Structure 1
Amino acid sequence: MPPELGNRQASGVTAYQNYAPYYDATGQIRFAVLMAHYVRDVLVRHPAPGRRMLDLACGTGTLALLFADEGWAAVGLDASPATLAQARAKAANLDTVGSVAFVQGDMRQPGAALAGISNARPGSFDLATCVYDSLNYLLDERELAACFAGIAEALAPGGVALLDMNTHHFLEHDWLPSEVLELPGFVQVSQSHFDPATACSTMVLTGFSGDDAQGYQRFDETHVERAYPPELVAELLAAAGLLVEATYDCFTFQPLSERAQRIAWVVRKPAN
Protein backbone atom coordinates (compact mmCIF):
# COMPACT_ATOMS: atom_id res chain seq x y z
CA MET A 1 0.00 0.00 0.00
CA PRO A 2 1.40 3.42 -0.94
CA PRO A 3 2.02 5.92 1.86
CA GLU A 4 -1.01 8.10 2.37
CA LEU A 5 -0.54 11.82 2.40
CA GLY A 6 -3.32 13.39 4.45
CA ASN A 7 -4.37 16.97 3.86
CA ARG A 8 -1.82 18.69 6.12
CA GLN A 9 -3.13 21.32 8.53
CA ALA A 10 -1.38 21.52 11.87
CA SER A 11 2.27 22.17 11.15
CA GLY A 12 2.82 21.78 7.46
CA VAL A 13 1.10 24.49 5.47
CA THR A 14 4.28 24.93 3.46
CA ALA A 15 4.52 21.15 2.92
CA TYR A 16 2.06 21.32 0.06
CA GLN A 17 3.56 24.37 -1.58
CA ASN A 18 5.65 22.21 -3.91
CA TYR A 19 3.73 18.93 -3.82
CA ALA A 20 0.25 20.39 -4.51
CA PRO A 21 0.56 20.40 -8.34
CA TYR A 22 1.38 16.68 -8.26
CA TYR A 23 -1.09 15.63 -5.55
CA ASP A 24 -3.85 14.39 -7.86
CA ALA A 25 -1.50 13.03 -10.51
CA THR A 26 0.31 10.79 -8.01
CA GLY A 27 -2.92 8.96 -7.28
CA GLN A 28 -4.12 10.78 -4.17
CA ILE A 29 -7.33 11.77 -5.99
CA ARG A 30 -8.45 8.13 -5.96
CA PHE A 31 -8.92 8.27 -2.20
CA ALA A 32 -11.33 11.20 -2.49
CA VAL A 33 -13.38 9.41 -5.15
CA LEU A 34 -13.54 6.26 -3.04
CA MET A 35 -14.46 8.30 0.03
CA ALA A 36 -17.27 10.05 -1.85
CA HIS A 37 -18.86 6.67 -2.57
CA TYR A 38 -18.44 5.65 1.06
CA VAL A 39 -19.92 8.87 2.43
CA ARG A 40 -23.00 8.36 0.25
CA ASP A 41 -23.42 4.87 1.66
CA VAL A 42 -22.90 6.10 5.22
CA LEU A 43 -25.61 8.74 4.73
CA VAL A 44 -28.11 6.02 3.86
CA ARG A 45 -27.57 4.58 7.35
CA HIS A 46 -26.95 7.90 9.06
CA PRO A 47 -28.98 10.55 7.19
CA ALA A 48 -28.09 14.22 7.20
CA PRO A 49 -30.94 16.69 7.83
CA GLY A 50 -30.11 18.77 4.76
CA ARG A 51 -27.60 19.23 1.94
CA ARG A 52 -25.03 21.73 3.21
CA MET A 53 -21.56 20.23 3.53
CA LEU A 54 -18.31 21.34 5.15
CA ASP A 55 -15.15 19.45 4.16
CA LEU A 56 -12.31 20.22 6.58
CA ALA A 57 -8.76 19.76 5.31
CA CYS A 58 -10.22 19.59 1.81
CA GLY A 59 -6.88 19.50 0.00
CA THR A 60 -7.38 19.82 -3.76
CA GLY A 61 -11.14 19.84 -3.30
CA THR A 62 -12.23 16.64 -5.00
CA LEU A 63 -14.63 15.44 -2.30
CA ALA A 64 -16.38 18.82 -2.01
CA LEU A 65 -16.64 19.10 -5.79
CA LEU A 66 -18.16 15.64 -6.12
CA PHE A 67 -20.87 16.53 -3.61
CA ALA A 68 -21.48 19.90 -5.24
CA ASP A 69 -21.99 18.03 -8.49
CA GLU A 70 -24.80 16.12 -6.78
CA GLY A 71 -26.57 19.29 -5.72
CA TRP A 72 -25.00 19.95 -2.33
CA ALA A 73 -23.92 23.40 -1.18
CA ALA A 74 -20.32 22.54 -0.28
CA VAL A 75 -17.57 24.50 1.43
CA GLY A 76 -14.00 23.22 1.49
CA LEU A 77 -11.54 24.55 4.08
CA ASP A 78 -7.79 23.98 4.04
CA ALA A 79 -4.72 25.70 5.46
CA SER A 80 -2.59 25.34 2.33
CA PRO A 81 -2.87 28.11 -0.31
CA ALA A 82 -1.22 25.82 -2.85
CA THR A 83 -3.78 23.01 -2.55
CA LEU A 84 -6.64 25.53 -2.52
CA ALA A 85 -5.30 26.97 -5.77
CA GLN A 86 -5.63 23.49 -7.29
CA ALA A 87 -9.16 23.15 -5.89
CA ARG A 88 -10.28 26.49 -7.27
CA ALA A 89 -8.77 25.72 -10.67
CA LYS A 90 -10.77 22.50 -10.84
CA ALA A 91 -13.94 24.29 -9.71
CA ALA A 92 -13.51 26.91 -12.43
CA ASN A 93 -13.68 24.18 -15.07
CA LEU A 94 -16.79 22.47 -13.69
CA ASP A 95 -20.47 23.29 -14.00
CA THR A 96 -21.97 21.80 -10.85
CA VAL A 97 -25.64 21.35 -9.96
CA GLY A 98 -24.96 22.64 -6.47
CA SER A 99 -22.43 25.18 -5.28
CA VAL A 100 -18.91 25.06 -3.91
CA ALA A 101 -16.63 27.57 -2.21
CA PHE A 102 -13.11 27.15 -0.92
CA VAL A 103 -11.65 29.06 2.00
CA GLN A 104 -8.24 29.13 3.63
CA GLY A 105 -8.33 28.37 7.34
CA ASP A 106 -7.23 26.17 10.19
CA MET A 107 -9.34 23.09 10.85
CA ARG A 108 -8.67 23.55 14.57
CA GLN A 109 -10.54 26.87 14.38
CA PRO A 110 -12.82 26.65 11.34
CA GLY A 111 -15.27 29.27 12.57
CA ALA A 112 -12.85 32.14 12.04
CA ALA A 113 -12.42 31.35 8.35
CA LEU A 114 -16.07 30.48 7.73
CA ALA A 115 -17.15 33.87 9.04
CA GLY A 116 -16.15 35.31 5.67
CA ILE A 117 -18.37 32.94 3.68
CA SER A 118 -21.99 33.87 3.10
CA ASN A 119 -24.49 31.34 4.48
CA ALA A 120 -21.70 29.56 6.39
CA ARG A 121 -22.66 30.76 9.84
CA PRO A 122 -22.15 28.53 12.89
CA GLY A 123 -24.73 25.78 13.10
CA SER A 124 -25.55 25.80 9.39
CA PHE A 125 -23.94 22.62 8.05
CA ASP A 126 -25.82 19.34 7.75
CA LEU A 127 -22.72 17.27 7.00
CA ALA A 128 -19.08 17.70 7.99
CA THR A 129 -16.21 15.57 6.75
CA CYS A 130 -12.57 15.40 7.70
CA VAL A 131 -10.90 12.51 5.91
CA TYR A 132 -7.69 11.06 4.50
CA ASP A 133 -6.11 10.81 7.98
CA SER A 134 -6.03 14.58 8.32
CA LEU A 135 -6.91 14.23 12.00
CA ASN A 136 -3.78 12.10 12.52
CA TYR A 137 -1.74 15.19 11.62
CA LEU A 138 -2.97 16.90 14.78
CA LEU A 139 -0.18 15.76 17.09
CA ASP A 140 -1.55 17.05 20.40
CA GLU A 141 -4.87 15.91 21.83
CA ARG A 142 -5.72 19.53 22.59
CA GLU A 143 -5.59 20.24 18.86
CA LEU A 144 -7.85 17.27 18.23
CA ALA A 145 -10.27 18.51 20.88
CA ALA A 146 -10.30 21.97 19.31
CA CYS A 147 -11.09 20.50 15.89
CA PHE A 148 -13.98 18.47 17.31
CA ALA A 149 -15.33 21.57 19.05
CA GLY A 150 -15.15 23.45 15.74
CA ILE A 151 -17.06 20.67 13.99
CA ALA A 152 -19.74 20.72 16.69
CA GLU A 153 -20.06 24.49 16.31
CA ALA A 154 -20.34 24.27 12.52
CA LEU A 155 -22.98 21.53 12.44
CA ALA A 156 -26.69 22.26 12.45
CA PRO A 157 -28.76 20.54 15.14
CA GLY A 158 -29.05 16.92 14.04
CA GLY A 159 -26.11 17.32 11.64
CA VAL A 160 -23.81 14.38 11.04
CA ALA A 161 -20.03 14.15 10.58
CA LEU A 162 -17.85 11.45 9.05
CA LEU A 163 -14.25 11.50 10.28
CA ASP A 164 -11.52 9.00 9.53
CA MET A 165 -8.18 8.23 11.16
CA ASN A 166 -5.31 5.86 10.52
CA THR A 167 -5.03 3.23 13.23
CA HIS A 168 -2.02 2.44 15.39
CA HIS A 169 -1.72 -0.91 13.59
CA PHE A 170 -1.52 0.76 10.19
CA LEU A 171 1.06 3.36 11.14
CA GLU A 172 3.28 0.84 12.90
CA HIS A 173 2.97 -2.22 10.70
CA ASP A 174 1.39 -1.50 7.30
CA TRP A 175 2.83 1.84 6.18
CA LEU A 176 5.63 0.92 3.80
CA PRO A 177 9.06 2.04 5.05
CA SER A 178 10.11 3.18 1.58
CA GLU A 179 8.61 3.66 -1.86
CA VAL A 180 9.54 5.18 -5.22
CA LEU A 181 6.96 6.54 -7.67
CA GLU A 182 7.96 7.62 -11.17
CA LEU A 183 5.74 9.70 -13.44
CA PRO A 184 6.53 11.73 -16.57
CA GLY A 185 8.23 14.87 -15.25
CA PHE A 186 8.05 13.82 -11.60
CA VAL A 187 9.76 11.31 -9.31
CA GLN A 188 8.72 10.80 -5.69
CA VAL A 189 10.74 8.99 -3.01
CA SER A 190 9.24 8.43 0.43
CA GLN A 191 10.73 6.94 3.59
CA SER A 192 8.78 6.29 6.80
CA HIS A 193 9.62 5.45 10.41
CA PHE A 194 7.30 4.71 13.34
CA ASP A 195 8.26 5.68 16.89
CA PRO A 196 6.43 3.49 19.46
CA ALA A 197 7.26 5.95 22.25
CA THR A 198 5.22 8.74 20.67
CA ALA A 199 2.88 6.60 18.50
CA CYS A 200 3.96 8.83 15.61
CA SER A 201 4.95 7.90 12.08
CA THR A 202 7.31 10.27 10.26
CA MET A 203 7.37 10.16 6.50
CA VAL A 204 9.97 12.14 4.54
CA LEU A 205 8.94 12.77 0.95
CA THR A 206 11.47 13.90 -1.62
CA GLY A 207 10.19 15.04 -4.99
CA PHE A 208 12.07 15.71 -8.23
CA SER A 209 10.28 17.69 -10.94
CA GLY A 210 11.65 18.33 -14.42
CA ASP A 211 13.12 16.23 -17.21
CA ASP A 212 16.39 14.72 -18.35
CA ALA A 213 17.02 17.51 -20.85
CA GLN A 214 16.47 20.52 -18.56
CA GLY A 215 17.33 18.89 -15.25
CA TYR A 216 15.31 18.39 -12.09
CA GLN A 217 14.37 20.54 -9.14
CA ARG A 218 14.21 18.87 -5.74
CA PHE A 219 11.94 19.54 -2.78
CA ASP A 220 11.62 17.79 0.58
CA GLU A 221 8.61 17.51 2.89
CA THR A 222 8.15 15.90 6.28
CA HIS A 223 4.77 14.45 7.26
CA VAL A 224 4.12 13.31 10.82
CA GLU A 225 0.99 11.41 11.88
CA ARG A 226 -0.01 10.33 15.37
CA ALA A 227 -2.08 7.27 16.23
CA TYR A 228 -4.74 7.94 18.85
CA PRO A 229 -6.41 5.28 21.03
CA PRO A 230 -10.10 5.03 20.03
CA GLU A 231 -11.06 5.42 23.67
CA LEU A 232 -9.40 8.84 23.83
CA VAL A 233 -11.00 9.95 20.56
CA ALA A 234 -14.41 8.92 21.89
CA GLU A 235 -13.82 10.95 25.07
CA LEU A 236 -12.83 14.04 23.10
CA LEU A 237 -15.85 13.74 20.80
CA ALA A 238 -18.15 13.45 23.80
CA ALA A 239 -16.50 16.47 25.44
CA ALA A 240 -17.26 18.45 22.26
CA GLY A 241 -20.93 17.48 22.57
CA LEU A 242 -20.92 15.05 19.65
CA LEU A 243 -22.70 11.70 19.89
CA VAL A 244 -20.91 8.69 18.38
CA GLU A 245 -23.44 6.78 16.28
CA ALA A 246 -21.00 4.23 14.87
CA THR A 247 -17.38 3.29 14.35
CA TYR A 248 -16.54 1.25 11.28
CA ASP A 249 -13.59 -0.40 9.66
CA CYS A 250 -13.41 2.36 7.07
CA PHE A 251 -14.95 1.72 3.64
CA THR A 252 -17.03 -1.08 5.18
CA PHE A 253 -19.75 -1.36 7.79
CA GLN A 254 -17.85 -3.98 9.71
CA PRO A 255 -16.70 -3.50 13.32
CA LEU A 256 -13.07 -2.72 13.99
CA SER A 257 -10.59 -5.58 14.13
CA GLU A 258 -7.09 -5.63 15.58
CA ARG A 259 -5.67 -5.29 12.07
CA ALA A 260 -7.98 -2.54 10.85
CA GLN A 261 -6.03 0.11 8.96
CA ARG A 262 -8.48 2.97 9.17
CA ILE A 263 -11.34 3.83 11.50
CA ALA A 264 -14.39 5.78 10.40
CA TRP A 265 -16.21 7.75 13.08
CA VAL A 266 -19.85 8.68 12.44
CA VAL A 267 -20.95 11.33 14.93
CA ARG A 268 -23.96 13.57 15.27
CA LYS A 269 -24.77 16.87 16.93
CA PRO A 270 -27.83 16.48 19.15
CA ALA A 271 -31.01 17.83 17.62
CA ASN A 272 -31.76 19.90 20.72
Structure 2
Amino acid sequence: MEAYTGFAAVYDRFMDNVPYAEWAEYVRELLEGYGIRDGLVLELGCGTGTMTELLAGYGYDMIGVDCSEEMLDAAMEKREASGHEILYLLQDMREFELYGTVRAVVSVCDSVNYILEEQELCQMFALVNNYLDPGGIFLFDFNTDYKYREILGDRTIAEDREDCAFIWDNFYDEEERINEYGLTLFIRRGAEGGPSGQGESLSGDGPFWRFQETHYQKGYTLEEIQAALQHAGMEFLGAWDADTKGEPHGASERIYAAARERGKTTEHM
Protein backbone atom coordinates (compact mmCIF):
# COMPACT_ATOMS: atom_id res chain seq x y z
CA MET A 1 0.00 0.00 0.00
CA GLU A 2 1.33 3.45 -0.88
CA ALA A 3 2.27 5.79 1.92
CA TYR A 4 0.73 9.23 2.42
CA THR A 5 -2.51 8.57 0.56
CA GLY A 6 -5.39 8.43 3.06
CA PHE A 7 -3.01 9.58 5.81
CA ALA A 8 -2.52 12.87 3.96
CA ALA A 9 -6.02 14.00 4.90
CA VAL A 10 -5.15 13.97 8.60
CA TYR A 11 -1.36 14.32 8.50
CA ASP A 12 -1.23 17.87 9.87
CA ARG A 13 -3.68 16.96 12.61
CA PHE A 14 -1.33 14.30 13.97
CA MET A 15 1.81 16.37 13.43
CA ASP A 16 0.59 19.28 15.53
CA ASN A 17 3.30 18.59 18.12
CA VAL A 18 6.17 18.88 15.62
CA PRO A 19 8.15 22.12 16.15
CA TYR A 20 8.13 23.19 12.50
CA ALA A 21 8.66 26.86 13.34
CA GLU A 22 11.77 26.02 15.37
CA TRP A 23 13.07 23.78 12.58
CA ALA A 24 12.45 26.47 9.97
CA GLU A 25 14.30 29.05 12.03
CA TYR A 26 17.27 26.71 12.34
CA VAL A 27 17.26 26.03 8.58
CA ARG A 28 17.17 29.77 7.94
CA GLU A 29 20.09 30.34 10.32
CA LEU A 30 22.12 27.68 8.52
CA LEU A 31 21.26 29.07 5.09
CA GLU A 32 22.14 32.60 6.14
CA GLY A 33 25.37 31.30 7.62
CA TYR A 34 26.29 30.17 4.12
CA GLY A 35 25.26 33.51 2.63
CA ILE A 36 21.84 32.53 1.33
CA ARG A 37 19.33 35.11 2.54
CA ASP A 38 16.99 35.10 -0.45
CA GLY A 39 16.53 33.57 -3.87
CA LEU A 40 15.13 30.31 -5.20
CA VAL A 41 15.04 27.37 -2.78
CA LEU A 42 13.82 23.83 -3.44
CA GLU A 43 12.33 21.63 -0.73
CA LEU A 44 12.46 17.89 -1.44
CA GLY A 45 9.79 15.79 0.26
CA CYS A 46 7.76 18.89 1.08
CA GLY A 47 4.65 16.94 2.14
CA THR A 48 1.76 19.23 3.09
CA GLY A 49 3.94 22.30 2.70
CA THR A 50 4.28 23.42 6.30
CA MET A 51 8.04 23.99 6.10
CA THR A 52 7.71 25.33 2.56
CA GLU A 53 5.27 27.98 3.76
CA LEU A 54 7.50 28.97 6.69
CA LEU A 55 10.54 29.40 4.44
CA ALA A 56 8.43 31.37 1.96
CA GLY A 57 7.48 33.60 4.87
CA TYR A 58 11.18 34.33 5.38
CA GLY A 59 11.34 35.67 1.83
CA TYR A 60 12.67 32.69 -0.10
CA ASP A 61 11.13 31.85 -3.48
CA MET A 62 10.04 28.28 -2.86
CA ILE A 63 9.60 25.17 -4.99
CA GLY A 64 8.20 22.05 -3.32
CA VAL A 65 8.61 18.51 -4.65
CA ASP A 66 6.73 15.49 -3.33
CA CYS A 67 5.60 12.16 -4.77
CA SER A 68 2.22 12.14 -2.96
CA GLU A 69 -0.56 13.87 -4.85
CA GLU A 70 -2.70 13.86 -1.71
CA MET A 71 -0.03 15.61 0.36
CA LEU A 72 0.45 18.24 -2.36
CA ASP A 73 -3.31 18.85 -2.43
CA ALA A 74 -3.05 19.87 1.22
CA ALA A 75 0.02 22.01 0.45
CA MET A 76 -1.83 23.86 -2.29
CA GLU A 77 -4.71 24.60 0.07
CA LYS A 78 -2.20 26.28 2.39
CA ARG A 79 -0.75 28.20 -0.54
CA GLU A 80 -4.20 29.50 -1.44
CA ALA A 81 -4.73 30.65 2.14
CA SER A 82 -1.30 32.30 2.51
CA GLY A 83 -1.02 33.85 -0.94
CA HIS A 84 2.62 32.74 -1.26
CA GLU A 85 3.75 32.09 -4.82
CA ILE A 86 5.04 28.55 -4.30
CA LEU A 87 5.53 26.13 -7.19
CA TYR A 88 4.61 22.55 -6.28
CA LEU A 89 5.76 19.62 -8.43
CA LEU A 90 4.46 16.06 -8.23
CA GLN A 91 7.77 14.20 -8.59
CA ASP A 92 9.84 11.46 -7.00
CA MET A 93 12.84 13.00 -5.24
CA ARG A 94 15.03 10.22 -6.63
CA GLU A 95 14.48 11.48 -10.17
CA PHE A 96 13.19 15.05 -9.93
CA GLU A 97 13.58 17.56 -12.75
CA LEU A 98 13.70 21.36 -12.69
CA TYR A 99 13.78 23.98 -15.45
CA GLY A 100 16.87 25.61 -14.00
CA THR A 101 19.11 25.81 -10.96
CA VAL A 102 18.35 26.98 -7.42
CA ARG A 103 20.42 28.67 -4.72
CA ALA A 104 19.68 25.99 -2.13
CA VAL A 105 17.95 22.66 -1.64
CA VAL A 106 16.49 21.62 1.72
CA SER A 107 14.92 18.38 2.91
CA VAL A 108 13.63 17.86 6.44
CA CYS A 109 11.42 15.50 8.46
CA ASP A 110 13.62 12.49 7.58
CA SER A 111 12.49 12.45 3.94
CA VAL A 112 15.95 11.16 2.98
CA ASN A 113 15.31 7.99 5.00
CA TYR A 114 12.58 6.96 2.56
CA ILE A 115 15.32 6.25 0.03
CA LEU A 116 16.13 2.61 0.81
CA GLU A 117 19.02 1.91 -1.56
CA GLU A 118 22.41 3.61 -1.24
CA GLN A 119 22.71 3.74 -5.04
CA GLU A 120 19.45 5.69 -5.23
CA LEU A 121 20.65 7.97 -2.43
CA CYS A 122 23.78 8.77 -4.45
CA GLN A 123 21.59 9.35 -7.50
CA MET A 124 19.39 11.82 -5.59
CA PHE A 125 22.42 13.65 -4.21
CA ALA A 126 23.85 13.87 -7.74
CA LEU A 127 20.61 15.45 -8.96
CA VAL A 128 20.78 17.97 -6.11
CA ASN A 129 24.33 18.85 -7.14
CA ASN A 130 23.21 19.17 -10.76
CA TYR A 131 20.37 21.60 -9.98
CA LEU A 132 22.26 23.82 -7.53
CA ASP A 133 23.77 27.13 -8.57
CA PRO A 134 27.58 27.13 -8.51
CA GLY A 135 28.48 26.96 -4.83
CA GLY A 136 24.84 26.34 -3.88
CA ILE A 137 23.94 24.75 -0.54
CA PHE A 138 22.15 21.51 0.32
CA LEU A 139 20.70 21.23 3.86
CA PHE A 140 18.89 18.12 5.06
CA ASP A 141 18.24 15.94 8.07
CA PHE A 142 18.12 12.18 8.48
CA ASN A 143 17.27 9.65 11.16
CA THR A 144 20.22 7.54 12.23
CA ASP A 145 20.58 3.80 12.34
CA TYR A 146 20.86 4.21 16.12
CA LYS A 147 17.36 5.72 16.33
CA TYR A 148 15.70 2.88 14.45
CA ARG A 149 17.71 0.17 16.22
CA GLU A 150 17.56 1.47 19.80
CA ILE A 151 14.59 3.86 20.00
CA LEU A 152 11.92 2.83 17.49
CA GLY A 153 12.76 -0.75 16.56
CA ASP A 154 10.08 -3.35 17.43
CA ARG A 155 8.11 -0.85 19.49
CA THR A 156 4.43 -0.03 19.32
CA ILE A 157 3.48 3.60 19.89
CA ALA A 158 -0.13 4.61 20.46
CA GLU A 159 -1.93 7.85 21.17
CA ASP A 160 -5.56 8.31 22.11
CA ARG A 161 -7.23 11.69 21.69
CA GLU A 162 -10.82 12.80 22.16
CA ASP A 163 -11.95 12.08 18.60
CA CYS A 164 -9.01 10.24 17.07
CA ALA A 165 -6.32 7.69 17.82
CA PHE A 166 -3.36 6.04 16.15
CA ILE A 167 -1.34 2.85 16.50
CA TRP A 168 2.20 2.82 15.08
CA ASP A 169 3.84 -0.62 14.94
CA ASN A 170 7.59 -0.68 14.21
CA PHE A 171 9.59 -3.64 12.91
CA TYR A 172 13.30 -3.09 12.41
CA ASP A 173 15.41 -5.38 10.22
CA GLU A 174 18.94 -4.99 11.61
CA GLU A 175 20.56 -6.75 8.66
CA GLU A 176 18.92 -4.56 6.02
CA ARG A 177 18.67 -1.61 8.43
CA ILE A 178 15.16 -0.91 7.22
CA ASN A 179 12.39 0.12 9.60
CA GLU A 180 8.89 -0.97 8.57
CA TYR A 181 6.05 0.65 10.38
CA GLY A 182 2.40 -0.06 10.05
CA LEU A 183 0.25 2.95 10.79
CA THR A 184 -3.41 2.58 11.76
CA LEU A 185 -5.49 5.69 12.40
CA PHE A 186 -9.01 6.04 13.73
CA ILE A 187 -10.80 9.37 13.14
CA ARG A 188 -14.32 10.04 14.37
CA ARG A 189 -16.60 10.78 11.44
CA GLY A 190 -17.37 14.47 11.23
CA ALA A 191 -14.37 15.43 13.38
CA GLU A 192 -12.64 18.70 12.50
CA GLY A 193 -9.71 17.95 10.22
CA GLY A 194 -11.03 14.51 9.34
CA PRO A 195 -11.50 13.17 5.80
CA SER A 196 -14.34 14.44 3.67
CA GLY A 197 -14.35 11.53 1.22
CA GLN A 198 -13.66 7.86 1.10
CA GLY A 199 -10.64 6.36 -0.65
CA GLU A 200 -8.73 3.15 -1.06
CA SER A 201 -7.09 3.38 2.36
CA LEU A 202 -10.28 4.26 4.25
CA SER A 203 -12.56 1.63 5.71
CA GLY A 204 -15.17 1.04 8.38
CA ASP A 205 -18.92 1.57 8.59
CA GLY A 206 -19.06 2.62 12.22
CA PRO A 207 -18.56 6.04 13.83
CA PHE A 208 -14.84 6.10 12.92
CA TRP A 209 -12.85 6.26 9.72
CA ARG A 210 -10.03 3.70 9.73
CA PHE A 211 -6.75 4.32 7.85
CA GLN A 212 -3.97 1.81 7.29
CA GLU A 213 -0.62 2.51 5.64
CA THR A 214 2.80 0.88 5.64
CA HIS A 215 5.98 2.97 5.53
CA TYR A 216 9.61 1.95 5.07
CA GLN A 217 12.67 3.94 6.09
CA LYS A 218 16.37 3.09 6.08
CA GLY A 219 18.75 4.03 8.85
CA TYR A 220 21.97 5.72 7.72
CA THR A 221 25.20 6.53 9.49
CA LEU A 222 26.84 9.91 9.08
CA GLU A 223 29.78 8.17 7.40
CA GLU A 224 27.46 6.68 4.78
CA ILE A 225 25.87 10.07 4.15
CA GLN A 226 29.29 11.67 3.72
CA ALA A 227 30.38 8.94 1.30
CA ALA A 228 27.19 9.35 -0.77
CA LEU A 229 27.69 13.12 -0.97
CA GLN A 230 31.29 12.65 -2.08
CA HIS A 231 30.24 10.09 -4.69
CA ALA A 232 27.69 12.59 -6.00
CA GLY A 233 30.41 15.23 -6.45
CA MET A 234 29.42 17.42 -3.51
CA GLU A 235 31.56 18.97 -0.80
CA PHE A 236 30.54 17.93 2.72
CA LEU A 237 30.47 21.02 4.96
CA GLY A 238 29.34 19.84 8.37
CA ALA A 239 26.81 17.98 10.52
CA TRP A 240 24.95 18.74 13.76
CA ASP A 241 22.97 16.75 16.28
CA ALA A 242 19.35 17.85 15.83
CA ASP A 243 18.60 18.01 19.55
CA THR A 244 21.68 19.82 20.83
CA LYS A 245 22.86 21.58 17.62
CA GLY A 246 26.30 20.36 18.67
CA GLU A 247 28.58 17.67 17.28
CA PRO A 248 26.87 14.40 16.27
CA HIS A 249 27.60 11.48 18.61
CA GLY A 250 26.92 7.77 18.84
CA ALA A 251 23.46 8.31 20.34
CA SER A 252 22.33 11.05 17.94
CA GLU A 253 18.84 10.21 16.73
CA ARG A 254 18.52 12.83 14.01
CA ILE A 255 21.34 14.68 12.29
CA TYR A 256 21.39 17.81 10.14
CA ALA A 257 23.97 17.85 7.34
CA ALA A 258 25.17 20.51 4.91
CA ALA A 259 26.93 20.15 1.58
CA ARG A 260 28.01 22.47 -1.24
CA GLU A 261 27.86 22.19 -5.01
CA ARG A 262 31.39 22.00 -6.38
CA GLY A 263 31.03 21.63 -10.12
CA LYS A 264 29.16 19.55 -12.64
CA THR A 265 30.58 16.56 -14.45
CA THR A 266 28.91 14.17 -16.87
CA GLU A 267 29.53 11.39 -14.34
CA HIS A 268 27.27 13.06 -11.80
CA MET A 269 24.60 14.55 -14.10
User: TM-score scaled by structure 1?
Assistant: 0.85
User: 5+ residue gaps in structure 1?
Assistant: 1-11, 115-120
Say which is worse superposed, 69-78 or 224-233, in terms of deviation.
224-233
CA contact (8 A) 1:48 1:158 kept: no
User: TM-score scaled by structure 2?
Assistant: 0.85
Distance in 2 separating the partners of 1:20 and 1:133 = 17
1:14-35 Cα offsets, whole Å, 9 max, x none, are: 3211111111111257243232
1:200-233 Cα offsets, whole Å, 9 max, x none, are: 1111101122349952232211111111232222
CA contact (8 A) 2:233 2:263 kept: no
Q: Aligned in 2, Cα 1:45/1:87: closer, same or farther, shift over 3 Å?
A: same
Distance in 2 separating the partners of 1:148 and 1:31 = 26
Corresponding residue to 1:86 among 71, 74, 77: 74
How many residues are paired up?
Answer: 249
Q: Could you say which residue in structure 2 is the equivalent of 1:168?
A: 145
Distance in 2 separating the partners of 1:89 and 1:240 = 35
CA contact (8 A) 1:35 1:251 kept: no
1:11-62 Cα offsets, whole Å, 9 max, x none, are: x7x3211111111111257243232011012124322275211000000001
CA contact (8 A) 2:31 2:37 kept: no
Say which is worse superposed, 211-220 or 236-245, in terms of deviation.
211-220
Residue pairs, 1:116-127, within 5 angstroms = 121-122=99-100, 124-127=101-104
Q: Could you say which residue in structure 1 is the equivalent of 2:88?
A: 102
Match of 1:23, SS state, is helix
CA contact (8 A) 1:188 1:206 kept: yes
Distance in 2 separating the partners of 1:143 and 1:15 = 19
Distance in 2 separating the partners of 1:95 and 1:69 = 10
Distance in 2 separating the partners of 1:184 and 1:91 = 29
Alignment of 1:205 with 2:151, yes or no, is: no
Distance in 2 separating the partners of 1:241 and 1:50 = 25
Q: Could you say which residue in structure 2 is the equivalent of 1:194?
A: 172
User: 5+ residue gaps in structure 2?
Assistant: 191-204, 265-269
**C-alpha RMSD of matched pairs (Å):** 2.2
Distance in 2 separating the partners of 1:41 and 1:108 = 27
Say which is worse superposed, 204-213 or 215-224, in terms of deviation.
204-213
Say which is worse superposed, 54-63 or 15-24, in terms of deviation.
15-24
- Matched-pair identity in %: 27
Alignment of 1:237 with 2:229, yes or no, is: yes
Alignment of 1:258 with 2:235, yes or no, is: no
Residue pairs, 1:1-272, within 5 angstroms = 14-27=2-15, 30-48=18-36, 50-96=38-84, 99-111=85-97, 114=98, 121-122=99-100, 124-175=101-152, 177-211=155-189, 215-270=207-262
Distance in 1 separating the partners of 2:68 and 2:162 = 25
